[in-house]
Amino acid sequence: PKTDIVFLKVHKSASSTVMNVLFRFGETHNLTFAFPIGGGNQLFYPQHFLARFVQGFSPTSPQRFNILCHHMRFLQPEVQKVVPHSAVYFSILRNPVQLMESSFAYYKGTSAFSHAHSLEEFLSHPYHYYNPMDRDSHYARNLMTFDFGFNPDGEVSAERVQLMLKAIEASFDLLLISEYFDESMVLLKEMLCWDLDSVVSFPLNIRDSSTKSPLSDTIVEKIKDWNRLDWEIYTHFNRTFWERIDRDIGRERMRREVKVLRERQAELARICLQGMSSVAPKDIKDSSLRPLQHGNAKILGYNLKQGLDKETELMCRRLVTPELQYSSALYKKQF
């Protein structure tokens, strides 16, 4: 199994669920995490990542960390100072249309979104609300482009897009697609030589459907135009994702693997969860399992079954512990 890993955690792209997979693997295999100085959940985002943001990093005695997975704005030369050269790099992408809709609800308090009553209103005069100079403007446009370290307001020329795609391909071994989460986990398992239980997960940091709104075709096109760089990244890597499946695994085997993964997830839901699915924040009985509530979104969580034996309870708790609580428990353990 590979144990040196860089995960670029892209916002609003099922990345909290992936992070839980990495936290669990790291904890059970006693790996070291590259934590932000003083704990916390972001490596001084939205600044470009620097090695000195990592607690315990020192340029004179470069200790290498196994897993780097907290929110950062990617800058590979700095990342390389923190992890071994053999580290596997991967990230996850999401359709920019759904990404934007999700960001608008989740980051409603940011300068670009706070005065627009609806996403539709924002998109009808984006520059009325959006100022690229605002410190939090990146949440409102080409958020994936920004997280990968590029300029979200850069021109969209064919040449520039090509350079961006080539740079991402040169840095990353695998790009997952959140719309095909289970297929992504199978690919990840193959690449890291992990077993099935290491990549099984329950969806974390998801919001209830009350704040989700269906989007008209007009709005979808406006979102694609406004996030053209993200759209180019997504469509390119969505294509190479399937090419990779065809080349390395084949559709038939992929279907079988996904089926096994889903059966195992359902089995764990029966073992671990009360009611077998997620619940509204107000219905989460154990406050230590309540996810951070943010913006206009209601973030769902889970209740564990009562009366589980110790070992099962620990396994189940790891699966449903929200990112911030899990991160701070691991930080305390490591430091």
Closest to 68 measured CA to CA, from 261, 190, 80: 80
Q: Euclidean distance between the first and final Cα of the chain, in Å?
A: 25
* pLDDT of residue 296 exceeding 90: no
CATH of the domain spanning 5-334:
3.40.50
Ordered strands of the 174-177 beta sheet: 67-68, 5-8, 88-93, 174-177
Could you tell me the pLDDT band of residue 291, with boundaries at 50, 70 and 90?
Answer: very high
Query: Considering the chain, what percentage of its residues have pLDDT values greater than 70?
Result: 100
Closest to 51 measured CA to CA, from 192, 194, 63, 296: 63
Mean per-residue pLDDT of the chain: 96
* pLDDT of residue 142 exceeding 90: yes
Whole-number Å distance between alpha carbons of 126 and 227:
11
Whole-number Å distance between alpha carbons of 221 and 219:
5
* pLDDT of residue 265 exceeding 80: yes
Tokens of 138: 């990146």
Alpha-helical segments (H) within the chain: 15-28, 76-79, 96-106, 119-124, 126-129, 143-147, 158-171, 181-192, 196-199, 217-226, 228-248, 251-272, 310-320, 323-334
Contact at 8 Å (CB) between 53 and 18? no
Whole-number Å distance between alpha carbons of 54 and 58:
9
Tokens of 326: 């899990």
The overall longest dimension of the chain from CA atoms, in Å, is: 60
Could you tell me the pLDDT band of residue 171, with boundaries at 50, 70 and 90?
Answer: very high
Query: Considering the chain, what percentage of its residues have pLDDT values greater than 90?
Result: 92
Alpha carbon 71 to chain centroid, angstroms:
8
What's the DSSP call for residue 282? G
Could you tell me the pLDDT band of residue 266, with boundaries at 50, 70 and 90?
Answer: very high
Residue-level pLDDT at 297:
77
Contact at 8 Å (CB) between 183 and 245? yes
